[in-house]
Amino acid sequence: MDPRLNIYENPVSLKFLKYITASYKVFPVLPHPTVELVSLRISQINGCGFCADMHTKEATRAGESAQRLHLVATWREATVFTEAERAALEFAEEGTRIADAAGGVPDDVWARAAKHYDEDQLAALVSLVAFMNLVNRMNVITQQPGGSYEHGWTRQFGG
């Protein structure tokens, strides 16, 4: 599959990507496994093969188990995630499926996340959900294929 537009070489989209990937620097206030699991789940929902490939490989490199990665799509029925991770995954799904839930993230979902994450971490979680939805849409619209991601590749954009 060839992309419609190579957003990683086009000067306009490349400039935009450098700005938005710089925002990735706020996410270390969250546990790294949570960032990768949330990023993977959002990418699965949005059908972004490029990002699903990236976050599966980054999570594996960071020591994440294959079992947990295989079960991200069915996290509600899986026993391998902590309560905090489950709250973050639920938050990510609600924040991604805004059109399905009039009003966005429900109060009870926010409260479950707030039980496990402080205000800075919640701000990072909100930002991560918004960031992933943005990059997923760019990749899906331009049909960026998954499968060829190599560790550290996004550093060229400031991520």
* Domains assigned to the chain: 30-143 (1.20.1290.10)
Residue 82 sits at φ, ψ, to 5 deg, of -70, 165
Burial of residue 128, with CB atoms counted within 10 A of its CB: 0-12 exposed, 13-18 middle, 19 or more buried: buried
111-152 pLDDT, tens digit per residue, is 999 999 999 999 999 999 999 999 999 999 999 888 777 776
- Alpha-carbon span 135 to 158, nearest angstrom: 14
Is this structure's pTM higher than 0.85? yes
pLDDT tens for residues 97-108? 998 877 789 999
CA distance linking residue 138 with residue 77, whole number of Å: 30
The answer for residues whose C-beta is within 8 angstroms of residue 19's C-beta and 6 or more apart is none
Token output for 120: 């800075």
List pLDDT tens digits, range 33-73.
Answer: 999 999 999 999 999 999 999 999 999 999 999 999 999 99
